[in-house]
Amino acid sequence: MQALFAPKWSSDVRLDGKTAIVTGANTGIGKETATDLASRGAKVIMACRDMAKGEQAARDILRAVKGAKVVARQLDLADTKSICQFAENIYDTEKTLHYLVNNAGVAICPYATTADGYEMQFGVNHLGHFFLTFLLLDLLKHSAPSRVINVSSAAHAMGKIQFDDLSGEKDYHPVRAYAQSKLANVLFSRELAKRMEAFGVGVYSVDPGAVNTEITRHIRRPFVDVIKTFSFLIKTPADGALTVIYCVVNPESQMVNGGYYNDWLAWRLYFPLQWPLYCSRINCFWQVFTADRPSHQ
């Protein structure tokens, strides 16, 4: 809501010599973020599931931004094999990684599972990015100061993580599943921020607000009617990307590590009663999920 009453945030910070990865960069918030970072001089790796769309988006940015350094690479966040291949390619080709923007996602979609058997929204929105981030941590630490930005949603406030049904087979509801995945983004950001602070890696979660992007393609009535009624609150992808970009370029001294940002402000979140349980479960899940994974030194 602040965006309705306050001037838009802007910054002329340059990112020359920096390298960024933006997932889901072929459209919407991801494409706007990639375009902005490229305009600041950063090399941007556009991680896209659909390479035809990714390469077209890269060509669009090259036409729009003089001297842009962008490249599209294939990444399917619903398949851990694809995530591993993407990470290996990054280590083979990049000496540094300063910004990882975990933006890609699916929303309120019909029931489906990832290649590894997890419910699709939780698998793509959270687990895929969780695993990608873990695989790239060595490069992020090597490149410090660096940052991880996880795109979440205000829907996280309705979320509850069903640790006993991550496949979603028992009681799938598309809205609850989306909220669960967005809550996981916030919890992961907080836990990762604690673990990485000593290494110079900042971590932030972002609520871009209600944005008119392709992620809403699965939404049906009555939600479509609600969106039409409040269409004056719907942001463009460029406006939706502003808080993501803010978390990339704003000085570290002005940031709250592990913070949740909306309209370029850090918000205090409350998770009464459930918070200690979520923290302990996420911590255990981290240990299980990352056990025996190779490290790049």
Q: Catalytic residues, which ones?
A: 178
45 φ, ψ (degrees, to nearest 5) = -100, 115
Tell which residue, 23, 17, 92, has the closest CA to residue 54: 23
Q: Residue 27 is encoded by which pair of tokens? A: 């459209």
**What is the rounded distance in angstroms from the CA atom of residue 20 to the CA atom of residue 15?**
10
Q: Is 65 left (phi over 0), alpha (psi -120 to 50) or beta?
A: beta
Residues contacting 285, CB < 8 A, separation 6+: 163
Give the type of residue at 144.
A
How many other CB atoms are there within 10 angstroms of residue 60's CB atom?
16
**What is the rounded distance in angstroms from the CA atom of residue 156 to the CA atom of residue 139?**
29
Q: Residue 140 is encoded by which pair of tokens? A: 């992020």
**What is the rounded distance in angstroms from the CA atom of residue 236 to the CA atom of residue 241?**
9
**What is the rounded distance in angstroms from the CA atom of residue 89 to the CA atom of residue 235?**
35
**What is the rounded distance in angstroms from the CA atom of residue 1 to the CA atom of residue 232?**
11
